[in-house]
Structure 1
Amino acid sequence: MRTTILITSPEEWTAPGTELFQFAPLFPGGPEWFTKPILIVLLSAVIVIAVCWVAFAKPKIVPRGWQSIGEYTYDFVREQIARPSLGKDADRWMGLLLTLFLTVLVWNLMGVVPFIQYPVAAHVNFPAVLAISVYVIKVYLGVRHHGVRGYLRGVVHLDGLPGWAYAIYAPLILAEVFITSLFTHFIRLFANMFAGHLLVAFFASVGFWFLFEQLSPLGAGLGVLGVLMTIVITAFEVFIQFLQAFLFTMLTAMYIASGVHGSH
């Protein structure tokens, strides 16, 4: 597993860069695809399944412990994400939305777990797979409930818009619904996790270098500042990790609603 501290020599400090997101196979001679991010994804799946199993397998009338945490999380996703977009259809989609929220949240939080320290969503392929899956569901629901013509008509229809304006409006809204929305769904999550991981690595590298390699009164001050900034950025990153899990799941609920209701 790679570390986020990059020291090339006792005389030279090198800022961390994109090499933080490049991983060799975990085992010499092992399959090239089995890297640290894959291992974290598998571990995250086990964690989500275990948490849900412990919380909901044997529910009690008076919840406590993990059941309380599970029910609070379920209520949060239902009330703050599912119902505002899906209304009466919210409960039907809670299994998918709760799973997505917990999965993305655990992926993100892996960036601050000691000895792991890598948010899986900082690798673009993983959020892209989730976003593409949601996109397929959205289009499928739209066609299933409204037919191809009805779905497209519902997407581009705008009350009060003159007929001649549709020549300009329709291509733009179709591009947004079927192209742009897919990329913005996962790029937002990826970009935030990528930038946050890079920032934490940068300040951690500064702190390590000036405290242990570049020994001097000024260096010690800069090293302490680097450590303090690492702590502050990490705390802020936890908030961003939760926020991005919330936004990704909220957009999922909105896209599912657009398919069910036949609108953008």
Structure 2
Amino acid sequence: MPVLAEGGLDFHIPSLSEFFPPPILFAGTPFEFNRVQLVRLIILAVVLIVMCVIASRSKLVPGRIQSIAELLIEFVNNSIIKNTLGLREGRKYAPMLITMFFLILAMNLGGVIPGMNLAGTSVIGLPLLLALWTFVTYVFFGIRKHGFAGYLKHETMPPGVPKPIYLLLVPIEFLQVVLIRWGSLTIRLLANMVAGHIMMVVFIGLFQALLLSGTWLIAVSPFAGALAIGIYGFEIFVAALQAFIFTMLSAVYIQMATADEH
């Protein structure tokens, strides 16, 4: 909402309502379509088209775009998959984890792309869907390796613990497996994208308000502009960091579920 201070400072304070824009199509129906869905579809289409073009035109001596894509894939392979699952076991989950990293990174960067100005992960639906993808994956492969009862025992009854402690430990570990892991993945990604967007809008709006105030406050506007640029760069860093953390934790949870019995 706009705030008009003394001296004519018109400053827009962002609110959570910005993450729930009015519908573009099918208002009042279960198929309601708004700007958030539009941003997600555009980003998804761009990622799919770019990756398909890179794959179809790949060369032995890569060009600039192919090199960037290959560097990112190698980064996920070496820093996440190799370090948590190992190259042999990780090969099974590499398509999922690489896809997850690229998708989250692209959706996060939507918040700093002019014209979009909203991350695809700043509304709970997509972070929740990605977290449930991780949940279903580690539960499925955990049960596949250990059996249903064996998997529950593997996850909730770590060896070397005095038997009376299991009365307290088993419910906590069970809750962690079925709720806390995917819940924390969802909340961490969502909260960081919402907070980053609000911070960026606050400082950009403050810079604009100071610059157009028509008072001595114009002299302060360069400082607000510098802060806005700094927050913009920091938001790009957070977008990449959250893609890395989400993918890394997904790999860790899969490793924990499929590890050999102690």
- Is the aligned partner of 1:164 residue 2:164? yes
Secondary structure class of the residue paired with 1:245: helix
In 2, Cα distance between equivalents of 1:34 and 1:27: 5
Question: Structure 1 pair 115/155, CA: closer, same or farther in 2 (3 Å)?
Answer: same
Do the aligned partners of 2:200 and 2:231 also contact (CA within 8 Å) in 1? yes
RMSD after superposition: 2.2
Q: Does 1:215 align with 2:214?
A: yes
Is the contact between residue 108 and residue 119 of structure 1 (CA under 8 Å) also seen in structure 2? yes
Check the 8 A contact 2:210/2:218 in 1, yes or no: yes
Find out whether 1:51 has 2:50 as its counterpart: yes
The residue number in structure 1 matching 2:108 is: 108
TM superposition shift of 1:207: 1.2
Who is 1:16 aligned against? 14
Q: How does 1:58-69 map to 2 (within 5 A)?
A: 58-69=57-68
8 Å contact 1:7–1:209 — kept in the other structure?
no
What is the alpha-carbon distance in structure 2 between the residues aligned to residue 224 and residue 192 of structure 1? 27
Evaluate the alpha carbon distance shift between residue 206 and residue 11 of structure 1 in structure 2; reply closer, same or farther with a 3 A threshold.
Answer: closer
Unaligned runs of 5+ in 1: 1-5
- Partners of 1:7 and 1:259 lie apart in 2 by 50
Give CA-to-partner distance per residue, 1:205-241, whole Å, 9 cap, x none: 11111211x2111x11333222221111011111111
Cα offset for 1:64?
A: 2.5
Q: 2:246 aligns with which of 245, 248, 253?
A: 248
Show structure 1 runs of 4+ deviating over 3 A. 6-14, 27-32
Verify the 8 A CA contact 2:3 2:13 in the aligned structure 1: no
User: Displacement of 1:165 after TM fit?
Assistant: 1.2
Match of 2:258 among 250, 257, 260: 260
Amino acid corresponding to residue 258 of structure 1 in structure 2: M
Report if aligned partners of 2:157, 2:169 keep a CA contact under 8 Å in 1.
Answer: no
Pair 1:70-2:73 in alignment: no
Q: 2:10·2:209 contact (CA, 8 Å) conserved in 1? A: no
**One-letter amino acid of the counterpart of residue 114, structure 2:** P
TM-score, normalised via structure 2 length: 0.90
The CA deviation at 1:242 is 0.3
Whether the aligned pair in 1 keeps the contact of 2:122 and 2:194 (CA below 8 Å) is yes
TM-score (norm 1): 0.89
Residue aligning to 1:130: 130
Identity between Structure 1 and Structure 2 (%): 29
CA contact (8 A) 1:101 1:245 kept: yes
Please list every run of 5 or more consecutive structure 2 residues that lacks an aligned counterpart in the other structure.
none
Range that drifts further, 188-197 or 7-16: 7-16
Report the equivalent of 1:34.
33
Q: 1:128 to 1:29 in 2, by over 3 A?
A: closer
Report SS of the residue matched to 1:121. Answer: coil
What is the match of residue 181 of structure 2? 181
Name the CA distance, whole Å, in 1 between partners of 2:201 and 2:218.
18
8 Å Cα contact 1:127-1:190 kept in structure 2 = yes
Structure 1 residues 15, 216: CA separation in 2 closer, same or farther (over 3 Å shift)? same
Instruction: Tell me how far apart the structure 1 counterparts of residues 2 and 226 of structure 2 sit (CA, whole Å).
Output: 20
Cα distance change on mapping 1:11 and 1:112 into 2, 3 Å: closer
Contact 2:24 2:35 in 1 (8 A): yes
- Quote the residue 1:3 is aligned against: none
Equivalent residue, structure 1, for 2:197: 197
Q: Secondary structure at the match of 2:147?
A: helix
Q: Give, in angstroms, the shift of residue 14 of structure 1.
A: 4.2
Once the two structures are TM-superposed, the CA of residue 28 in structure 1 deviates from its matched residue by 8.4
1:55, distance to aligned residue in structure 2 (A): 2.3
